[in-house]
Chains A and B, each alone.
Chain A
Amino acid sequence: DTAVSQTPKYLVTQMGNDKSIKCEQNLGHDTMYWYKQDSKKFLKIMFSYNNKELIINETVPNRFSPKSPDKAHLNLHINSLELGDSAVYFCASSHYFSGENIQYFGAGTRLSVL
């Protein structure tokens, strides 16, 4: 069973389109994250949700909107896609408390904007 699953794995689209990436975790975790890994392999956190509440919103364009219908899902919707949005997007989840907080990552979604 896949612990953290993202769909789709690959996404190729034109500039200006709107697209969504879905993430689901079956680990019972209460915190989920979206990361962006750029062409230089630099990983940056974008959003974090704890119990469906947004707790991190790093400086990302407001074209990016996370949506968490429940604790097990955190979807990423992107409006008006731009060339610079091309990257690999990773979803992750963890159980948020002051002790162990190992994050489990999805396999990534490679987004190419043409």
Chain B
Amino acid sequence: KNEVEQSPQNLTAQEGEFITINCSYSVGISALHWLQQHPGGGIVSLFMLSSGKKKHGRLIATINIQEKHSSLHITASHPRDSAVYICAVRKDGNQFYFGTGTSLTVIP
């Protein structure tokens, strides 16, 4: 079993919809990262969270350390949000575990 589980694996939404991607993990962590991988392959780091909530533009990330769960929300989704979103948790030192990603397609 993977230490980091994401759901859903695939997600199709209409433009403008509110989107939620979930991440659950089973190890003790010092931080959690949300990454975005574009169709061309490039990876961008969106957020690093150790508690609470962060917002950047239309993206919101939350984490509940007690429940070992994080969510990534996209408000007013747009076709350019289409990408794979990857949850990664950082354990002790610099050890990382990655989820398998959620493939998001936003249809105009």
Contacts and interface: CB of A to CB of B under 8 A. Distances in A.
B73 interface: no
Given A40-B100, A98-B30, A102-B48, A45 B95 contact: yes
- The secondary-structure label for the interface of chain B is strand
Interface stretch (B12-20, B36-44, B61-69, B74-82): B36-44
A86 B44 CA distance: 22
Given A102-B45, A108-B41, A55 B93 contact: yes
Nearest to B2: A42
B98 A43 contact: yes
Contacts of B101: 41-43
- The secondary-structure label for the interface of chain A is strand
B94 A56 contact: yes
Contact of A96 (B84, B94, B96): B94
Contacts of A17: none
**Would you list the 7 A-B pairs with minimal beta carbon distance, nearest first?**
A105-B43, A43-B98, A48-B94, A102-B45, A45-B96, A103-B45, A108-B41
29 contacts: A33-B94, A41-B100, A41-B101, A42-B98, A42-B100, A42-B101, A43-B86, A43-B98, A45-B96, A50-B94, A55-B93, A55-B94, A56-B93, A56-B95, A88-B41, A98-B30, A101-B31, A101-B90, A102-B45, A102-B48, A103-B33, A103-B45, A104-B45, A105-B35, A105-B43, A105-B44, A105-B45, A108-B41, A108-B42
Interface of A: 31, 33, 40-45, 48, 50, 55-56, 88, 90, 92, 96, 98, 100-105, 107-108, 110
